[in-house]
Structure formats: C-alpha cells, structure tokens
C-alpha cells in the first residue's frame, strides 16, 4: 500500500489572496512550462494522478488561515469542503481538520465535529503565527488525545510574508512529552532545522516525520535525504518513523506524483556515502516509507 501523508487541495473558491501569492511564489521559483501544474489543485486531478502513481490513499489537509490571513471562507466551510471530499472518496482520501488553536473553545468544538464527520487527524499550521507548545492550547491537544487522532504540524520553511520562528521543530518537543498518547508528524522533516527534527524523532516515541517538499532536494542533492534517513535508521533501529508525502500539487513541476513515488522506490545511497560505510536502503525500508508507516500511524 502507498499512502501520501501530506497533500493539499484547492479550487478557485478556496484560494485567498495570501494563498494565491504562495502559488505565484512557487510558480516563479520552478517556472513550469504549464503553470497549472501548481495552480490546479482539484480533486479530479488528484485522483487521476494518484491512479497513475499507484497511490492507494492520500491524506488531505485542511488549512485554517482565518486568524492570520484574510479569508472568504469560514473555518467550518473549509473543513466541510474536505469532509465532503472524504465522503465522496472514502476509500482514497483521509481527511485532517485544519484548526488554529488560538480559537480556544471554538477549536475544540470544531475538532469534535470534524471527527464525528469522518476526519481522522488534526493539521496545525504554525506558520500563521503561533508557538505550538503554549499551554493555552493544551485543551485542544487534550481533545485530540481523547479522540485518539494524530496531529500533523508544519515545521520548517514557510512562504514569503510569514515568520519562520514559529516553525521550529523544537516547539513540538514539550507537546510530545506532555501528550505521549498523540502521534505527532513533523512536516518536511523540519527543513532547514533537519537535525532538530531528527533529534525529536529519536528522543520521542510518538514523533514522526514526513518527506513532503523534499522533491527539489532529492532531484538535485539526494545525499541530504540519504544522510538524514540513515541517521534516523541507525538511531531508531529502522525507518519506521518516516512517512511519504508530496505537498501536492506544489512540487509537481519538479517531480510529478508518479515520478516522486518512483524516486523513493528507486532511492539509492550515493556511491561516495557507501564508500564512507553507509548502507544502502532495503526494499523493506522503501515500502515502510511509501506506506507501511503511515498505515500504522493512521490506523488504516
């Protein structure tokens, strides 16, 4: 089974001014011949590309940007959009609610509503401007623990106009310790705070990472991911804490979804690193990353 643990979706009605600027930034960065590679985030395209790539299930993340950015959709409307997709594609799509913990009691009520409606996890988009380990937000995490759902936390880089300081993996550590029953996924392996993210994975039994947004690195400098995965494997006794993710469709100009799956399936330790004593990845390593780990964490 192949599971994409990190995906977004949008149609015109979902795209706020700030989201449009993010899409324009990515388009300018990668300069695709067809800009729709970045801008077309519809469910129809996603399902087609999942089929082409052999992806069985995809985690679809709602985003709550309403407090930080202007939005023409309410919190409930965005989550309902994802819930509706899950209901239409129950065998293919796993929904995560997007909820800003600064909403207080409203956040708790919304999370419970979303889970009752079929959502399987919580997405926390820290780049909108909050520190994850602020104890004011603990009631929301207590509800997540009660509901027995995982949390996926944005860590690492953010788009122009946002502050990176909120995205450091280190702010996840206290939450991981105080809520050992919640599986927490660090998006993007915390890049550029990769060592910090890896340290949390090694230290905390309930912390995982996904490799979404690593497409450029794997294409142009694969040794970085190889070294990172090797450190996790050696320190954790395996690669059971690494999840495949794409951040679809943002990086499709670098690797279309099918090619991204193939890149991980064909991942090989570069010869210079093998000469230094680093072991190549096994087929079991790759199968765990591509879906086995996510299936266990998500309970599918």
Pick from 57, 65, 41: nearest CA to 243: 57
Domain count, the chain: 1
Q: What is the pLDDT along the chain (300 residues), one digit of tens a residue?
A: 999 999 998 876 676 666 777 777 777 777 777 777 777 889 999 999 999 999 999 999 999 987 777 666 788 999 999 999 999 999 999 999 999 999 999 999 999 999 999 999 999 999 999 999 999 999 999 999 999 999 999 999 988 888 999 999 999 999 999 999 999 999 999 999 999 999 999 999 999 999 999 999 999 999 999 999 999 999 999 999 999 999 999 999 999 999 999 999 999 998 888 888 888 999 999 999 999 999 999 999
Rounded to two decimals, what is the model's pTM? 0.95
Question: Which pLDDT value is given to residue 294?
Answer: 98
CATH number (domain holding residue 216) = 3.20.20.140
Question: Which pLDDT value is given to residue 259?
Answer: 98
Question: Which pLDDT value is given to residue 34?
Answer: 79
Domain that holds residue 255: 3-298
d(CA 77, CA 14): 10
Distance of CA 75 to the CA centre of its chain: 19
Q: Write the CB contacts of 73 (distance below 8 Å, at least 6 apart in sequence).
A: 13, 14, 16, 66, 81
What 273-276 contacts at long range (C-beta under 8 Å, 24+ apart), as own/partner pairs, is 273/223, 273/226, 273/227, 273/230
d(CA 195, CA 155): 12
d(CA 298, CA 54): 19
Pick from 2, 1, 4, 294: nearest CA to 150: 294
Question: Which pLDDT value is given to residue 275?
Answer: 85
**Tokens for 83?**
């819930």
């Amino acid at each position: 089974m192949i599971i994409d643990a990190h995906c977004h979706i949008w149609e015109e009605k979902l795209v706020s001014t700030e989201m449009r600027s993010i899409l324009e930034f990515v388009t300018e960065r990668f300069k695709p011949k067809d800009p729709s590679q970045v801008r077309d985030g519809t469910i129809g395209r996603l399902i087609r590309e999942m089929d082409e790539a052999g992806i069985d299930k995809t985690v679809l993340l709602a985003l709550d940007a309403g407090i930080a950015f202007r939005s023409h959709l309410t919190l409930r409307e965005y989550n309902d959009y994802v819930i509706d997709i899950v209901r239409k594609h129950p065998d293919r799509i796993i929904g995560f609610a997007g909820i800003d913990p600064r909403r207080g009691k409203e956040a708790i009520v919304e999370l419970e509503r979303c889970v009752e409606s079929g959502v399987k996890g919580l997405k926390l988009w820290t780049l909108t401007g909050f520190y994850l380990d602020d104890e004011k937000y603990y009631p929301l995490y207590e509800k997540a623990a009660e509901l027995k759902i995982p949390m996926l936390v944005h860590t690492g880089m953010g788009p122009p106009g946002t502050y990176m300081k909120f995205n450091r993996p280190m702010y996840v550590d206290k939450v991981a310790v105080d809520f050992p029953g919640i599986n927490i996924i660090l998006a993007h392996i915390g890049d550029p705070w990769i060592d910090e993210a890896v340290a949390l994975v090694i230290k905390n039994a309930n912390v995982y990472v996904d490799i979404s947004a690593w497409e450029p690195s794997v294409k142009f400098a694969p040794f970085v991911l190889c070294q990172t995965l090797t450190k996790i494997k050696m320190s954790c006794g395996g690669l059971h804490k690494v999840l495949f993710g794409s951040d679809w469709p943002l990086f499709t100009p670098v690797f279309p979804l099918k090619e991204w799956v193939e890149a991980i399936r064909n991942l090989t330790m570069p010869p210079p690193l093998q000469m230094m004593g680093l072991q190549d990845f096994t087929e079991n390593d790759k199968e765990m990353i591509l879906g086995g780990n996510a299936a266990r964490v998500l309970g599918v």
